[in-house]
Structure 1
């Protein structure tokens, strides 16, 4: 992928897409193209085809998707399956019609079976039942992976699918109603600190374990894979280490500077006991995550203070 190649980043304003744009620019890529959803609605095939006709990108990072937490996925399953199927179908097919050299499709480890063996290997996809609360999203993403594989088989395209673990970083969603666990905890501890609360409630027992990858590390991995990975099988991206929710809460408490107590509400659900991905495949290719969780949390809290503090939903 030459530094002057025309590269389309779909979803450039999101957590992954914005990190990817920054990392590409940092590495010297000078010919990036992207559009806001207001200008090009990726759910509209006419919009997508017109964009590809105008720009004719050589490489595509498909990071655009309708995403959300458990509440949103459970409440709006039709939106999640419809919008993601349309985005994927339109962009992948347009890439084929306009001769894109290579496309990278972004999946998610949450689309693996709910009770997949740990750590989760790439071969686990479609070997068991999905988590019911995000089944619609998962089915759409699985369809995107299979669409890439089908186009590669029938048309000889070079489309790869990547499965990142839980992500965090700049441009994350910190709204307590819709965010994932790490940004939600950061919002809670910050709100408790500035309002002088004595305690912060954390759902569940604190024993479930999760893996967290900084978006800058993911962006670096995506560029690495675009340059060096051409297989028709999906590939995991993660850090290969997990942490309990209790330990995560303690780390965030320290980073934020909250001096009160943590209270675990054991009447609330824990969710899946553990979710860790097997990163053997990408490590053997020569890539490893470099941002530690301690370093990443400090960077994200600094970003939070500069960009979100005055607008975040601080309800406990």
Structure 2
């Protein structure tokens, strides 16, 4: 029986894992911890956590994360804190004899200037986009650490690289939210504030040109795939977990999906005074499809609708 420690277990992906685990009826023991349980930037606190839990496996989700604008203004903080977290978690996983560690990376780690679609062999082929280089380099180094621990100690430390994640239990704080939860939060505010203005006359601003392309994965799909990786994927090489290339959408299309989920009656306009960030980072899931060809991803609009419904149902919790 596995004893799985999930760092960052109170966030978007951790909550999705809880949902899938509860549905599965597994006999494995899963322990979900958040920042209030241990400061993973602190070596002693991390060691105490591992000594207390004694995990056989680790799903490492913990990270300092944020949206485009938060990253742009805090690259040093993103670099230092994530380096500390990753070093502490992986070293303690080794010292405590963990059988396997899966660390969660991001498609933003890939080179800014590259050919498309990007795949797992291209992680270190050039510098990442300058907007979030601190976070990107810290995450890239997990792949280097995985290889180094394997070379020296034979550790089965691997990594997954999801595309943009969204779903219930997301972070909706304006200063740190990613694109879809940020849109959901702003759309709700637009609809429910200034109620003396007819909704049909309200304008929702899409930040930037609306033209950048993104692949979005629903958090519960990512949770199912992560569990599959834990049970079945035995390589230290990273694995991209992404929807198919043809499911890529523009930021404007994502805003349309959010508006549709809210049944918004107003207009959408692009605010080109805001930065776009990287234009595209199209990822190939060919390796995943070769291993798991029949996996069915949640339809994007259906996932957005479910996310909006969860947000509305939990409004007192997400906006406190």
Using the size of structure 1 for normalisation, the TM-score is: 0.92
Match of 1:202 in 2: 206
- Identify which of 241, 262, 273 aligns with 1:237: 241
Superposition pairs of residues 172-187 of structure 1, within 5 angstroms: 172-187=170-185
Shift of the alpha carbon at 1:248? 1.7
Residues 113, 126 of structure 1: 8 Å contact kept: yes
- Identify which of 26, 31, 43 aligns with 1:29: 26
Q: Which moved more, 1:256-265 or 1:199-208?
A: 199-208
Residues 239, 287 of structure 2: 8 Å contact kept: yes
Residues 68, 178 of structure 1: 8 Å contact kept: yes
Aligned residue for 2:284, secondary structure, equals: coil
Aligned residue for 2:260, secondary structure, equals: helix
C-alpha distance in structure 1 between counterparts of 2:108 and 2:40, whole Å: 23
Aligned residue for 2:127, secondary structure, equals: coil
Residues 174, 184 of structure 1: 8 Å contact kept: yes
Aligned residue for 1:33, secondary structure, equals: strand
Match of 2:126 in 1: 128
C-alpha distance in structure 2 between counterparts of 1:67 and 1:74, whole Å: 12
Aligned residue for 1:275, secondary structure, equals: coil
Match of 1:13 in 2: 10
Q: Which moved more, 1:140-149 or 1:192-201?
A: 192-201
- Identify which of 103, 106, 109 aligns with 1:108: 106
C-alpha distance in structure 2 between counterparts of 1:277 and 1:54, whole Å: 38
Aligned residue for 2:112, secondary structure, equals: coil
Is 1:301 matched with 2:277? no
Shift of the alpha carbon at 1:270? 2.6
Superposition pairs of residues 117-196 of structure 1, within 5 angstroms: 117-195=115-193, 196=199
C-alpha distance in structure 2 between counterparts of 1:51 and 1:198, whole Å: 49
C-alpha distance in structure 2 between counterparts of 1:251 and 1:161, whole Å: 30
Match of 1:223 in 2: 227
Residues 239, 289 of structure 1: 8 Å contact kept: no
Shift of the alpha carbon at 1:309? 5.8
- Identify which of 266, 286, 293 aligns with 2:272: 266
Going from structure 1 to structure 2, the CA distance change for 1:48 and 1:267 (only over 3 Å counts) comes to closer
Match of 2:196 in 1: none
Aligned residue for 2:298, secondary structure, equals: coil
In angstroms, what is the RMSD of aligned CA positions?
1.8
Q: Which moved more, 1:82-91 or 1:33-42?
A: 33-42
Shift of the alpha carbon at 1:266? 2.9
Residues 131, 277 of structure 2: 8 Å contact kept: no
Residues 190, 258 of structure 1: 8 Å contact kept: no
Unaligned runs of 5+ in 1: none
Shift of the alpha carbon at 1:282? 0.6
Using the size of structure 2 for normalisation, the TM-score is: 0.91
Unaligned runs of 5+ in 2: 194-198
Give per-residue Cα distances to partners, 1:251-271, cap 9 Å, x unaligned. Answer: 211111110111112343333
C-alpha distance in structure 2 between counterparts of 1:73 and 1:192, whole Å: 25
Shift of the alpha carbon at 1:185? 1.6
